Amino acid sequence: NQVVEELRETLSFLTARVSRMADSFVQQASQLWRQGNGGQLAKFAMAHRPTAQPPETENVDMGGLLLIHSRCQWLSSRTNVSELHEAYALREKSIGILLPSGKAGLLTVGSEFLLPLLKRFLLNLRDLALLCDSKDDDGEGGGYQQKCISYLQRLWGTILNDDERNFSCVAIYTVGWQCAHKMNATVVVSRWKLPDGDYKMSETVTYSFWRGLADFGSNKWLSASNNLSFVFENVPPKYLNHRRMVLWRLVPSRLLASLHKEGHKRSVGSAALFQQHRMPELASLTEAFCSGNVGAFEANLRDYEETYVKFEVYIQLLKLRMPLYRNLFKRTYHIIKALRGNAGRVPIADLTVAARAAGWDVDEEEVECVICTLIKDKYIKAKLDPERRSVMFSPSNPFPLKDEKLH
């Protein structure tokens, strides 16, 4: 009996201690809440790491939300898979208290300061989904990641058409893209568009970045170039890494957009710009592309392949090959026209000589094959004359700008 009584006293002491710790967290967080300090509240809440299991609650008020968050934080530090699954469910529940479906929650027009807390909760939902999938042993994987994307899609649909709460769309949009990009599942979020409204410059820049990223992945080079240019121009120089991240996609976009709009190739970037941002790879690649140096271009792709793969631009850079060949033959065409007064029919042998002069180790058969591809893909307007081994260029604009829709 004495042992049992001692155990009861110990349990009572531990329970009271846990309750005091939970009360202390709730009190400090509540104070930040009442002060309207959403940024500090979000940081304080996510830094909270309870050392014992907080009590359960079904309340949906401020205190209930903080207790649910505290319990979620405790469970997410556990290694048991079922506890991680419960942590994910509690995170969804905490988001649902801020933005419940079809009714007013804690996040309203009068409490916009809670947007940073919503962003942190949404990002934590992504991290928990990744953690749950990494711990699952069923061999399938990706179940909670898909669950997270589906939840964000439902939340977006609910809030987007709610005039009283759609101001929070910018938070869902930003985090939705971060989650989707992390999980390599951007198909859904690429269709999202923010409702009309007055947004902060930082929000507009963020929106333009993700739109540019979506356009970049969809081969919409001109649109990607415009969006990413806006981002680059409005990110302060002190944020060097952010600007580098934009340049990795902006430069290929501008080079590819040169087929759609005159002047884009000339405005890609100066040597000083690439030096300032420590990007010698793109500097040499851009120089090779603009000068039509096929040999230097191919050497650059070989030398920096791992870097380009790391920054997820290698596939797009490979697409520069055909524009590079097109530009090379365009310059050759104009040189021949200037020398001979007419370039309506150009021997393949002459084009091969020009290609070799540009550092391209190629024979006439390969040049003929490339010309066929360029004609097929509408990079040039011409016809092949197999009998006379020559190319008959159209007398009317043989090197047209491409329609964005065709590429």
Q: Are 99 and 168 in contact (CB under 8 A)?
A: yes
73-92 confidence digits (pLDDT tens):
999 988 889 999 999 999 99
**Prediction pTM value:** 0.73
Mean pLDDT check: name the lowest of 77-86, 97-106, 188-197, 253-262. Answer: 253-262
Q: Of 22, 206, 172, 188, nearest to 98 (Cα)?
A: 172
pLDDT at 267: 57
267-290 confidence digits (pLDDT tens):
567 888 899 999 999 999 998 888
pLDDT at 60 over 90: no
- Please give the residue that has the higher pLDDT: either 396 or 302: 302
104-159 confidence digits (pLDDT tens):
688 887 888 998 999 999 999 999 998 998 887 655 556 888 898 889 888 888 88
Q: What is the DSSP string of 33-88?
A: HHHT-HHHHHHHHHH---SSPPPP----SHHHHHHHHHHHHHHHT---HHHHHHHH
Average pLDDT over residues 212-239: 91
pLDDT at 388: 87
pLDDT at 13 over 50: no
